[in-house]
Amino acid sequence: MLTVSQAVEIAARAAERARAAGADAADASVAGDQSTGIGVRLGHLEEIDRSEGESLSLRAFVGRRVASVSSSRMTDADLDRLAERVVAMAKAAPEDPYAGLAPQDRLMHGSAPDLDLHDGGAVEPDRLRDLALAAEDAARGVEGITNSDGAGASARETVSALATSHGFAGGYRTTSYSLSASVIAGTGERMQGGDASHSARYLAQLEAADIIGRRAGERAVERLDPVQVESGPLPIVFDRRVSASLIGHFTAAIAGAAVARGTSFLKDRLGKPVFAEGVTICDDPQRPRGLRSRSFDGEGLPVSPVTLVDRGVLQTWLLDSAAARQLGLEPTGHAARGGGVSTSNVHMAAGTIPVETLLGEVDRGIYVTELIGQGVNAVTGDYSRGVAGFLIEGGELVRPVAGITVAGNLLDMYRALTPASDLEFRYGVNAPTIRIDGMTVAGG
């Protein structure tokens, strides 16, 4: 696989070739990837997957016209042909009044910060196989487990580089590892599945295989014999496995392009209360070993921690250069390569209430551990999702539930939201357990 310096050098040459072919400005990104994945089922090796590849994306601007091409071939001759093609495409493209590279005075200068995203170790397939087998063995060892969907372990290494024709060149590399198990409890029509997984930048940080396996088995068994509930308004408690999805709907709604088009339910909420007063949401691209950490954004701008919501009040949009020009604002360092925006390590700050208290205050409600299907209107904020989880009675989880739908409007839900104190940094986007009172439940 390419080294970081090799990837940066190829990206810089590609941008230079585009300028030489007639572009007014250009940028190029190079990505290298190698990964190994192992799958096991019922104690036997089922699959081994090994992949390795490199790709180049070149973007050229001719006036306010822009085009992009990509290739896996990166010799000098290939770069010349690619540059000629992308410039010809840009000349034929329609004008975009907001197109262009990021402001030159905003580019990151100097070396990319070291965020400790690469553990430097190659992992042998046998090691991954042993991890997957151990996770499945632990899952199948849980009483009540009758079958397995298998377990898997993977290791991945990436190199990312970006160069622009107006002065930026940088790159970094990462490693990531994952381990998962999925098993089945019960038989016939009683069958229920359960799964568990964990991902980390460093192999040494990966959760123990027996813990992941037992968790998967216990989740399957506890879901046996679900009941349905009556329709009506009830408090809904979102487990940490699914509570972060509420942040995902929020970050999509504050993307600059959606705001500029007027297709976001938050389009007129900047500087105004959106969440309950005690809620703070942050985005931290510089978290060491973070699953979504990055050294710079997709346009070469520096990145830094930013508060998206401060004590309930919306603080900023997520802006690449095009959306910033359209809205008359400055880019925020959230540009994604290929267009649009992306966040990094986002989390909702922990509340002050222990999860036991959050549940204990619910006389009757639903504890959600799984979301099913898609049912969110980005324009209106209307929310309707199928869910599975547990019935809460007297502050306790009493029996599994399934075949129900919960509904509301995201603005109302955000304002009624209460976070527990059990925040855990486990995923790319994290939130504590969340309770929302008064949502509508539709039973089966």
pLDDT at 375 over 90: no
pLDDT tens across 195-236, in order?
999 999 999 999 999 999 999 999 999 999 999 898 999 999
pLDDT of residue 444: 64
Residue 380: both structure tokens together: 């209106």
Residue 405: both structure tokens together: 């739908």
Mean pLDDT score of the chain: 96
pLDDT tens across 96-137, in order?
999 999 999 999 988 878 999 999 878 999 999 999 999 999
Ordered domains of the chain (ranges, CATH): 4-222 (3.30.2290.10), 226-444 (no CATH)
In this prediction, residue 333 has a pLDDT band, given cuts at 50, 70 and 90, of very high
d(CA 88, CA 103): 24
Q: Tell me the sheet residues that pair with 37.
A: 49, 154
d(CA 334, CA 336): 6
Please state, as a whole number, how many other Cβ atoms lie within 10 Å of the Cβ of residue 72. 9
Q: Is there a contact between 366 and 404 (Cβ–Cβ < 8 Å)?
A: yes
d(CA 189, CA 196): 22
pLDDT of residue 395: 96
Q: What are phi and psi of 145, to 5 degrees?
A: -80, 130
Q: Tell whether the torsion through CA atoms of 223, 227, 228 and 234 is positive or negative.
A: negative
Secondary structure E strands in 312-380: 313-314, 346-348, 364-372
Nearest to 82 by CA among 106, 107, 57: 57
Q: Model pTM greater than 0.85? A: yes
d(CA 203, CA 289): 11
Q: Is there a contact between 375 and 383 (Cβ–Cβ < 8 Å)?
A: yes
d(CA 59, CA 67): 6
d(CA 410, CA 386): 15
pLDDT tens across 304-319, in order?
999 999 999 999 999 9
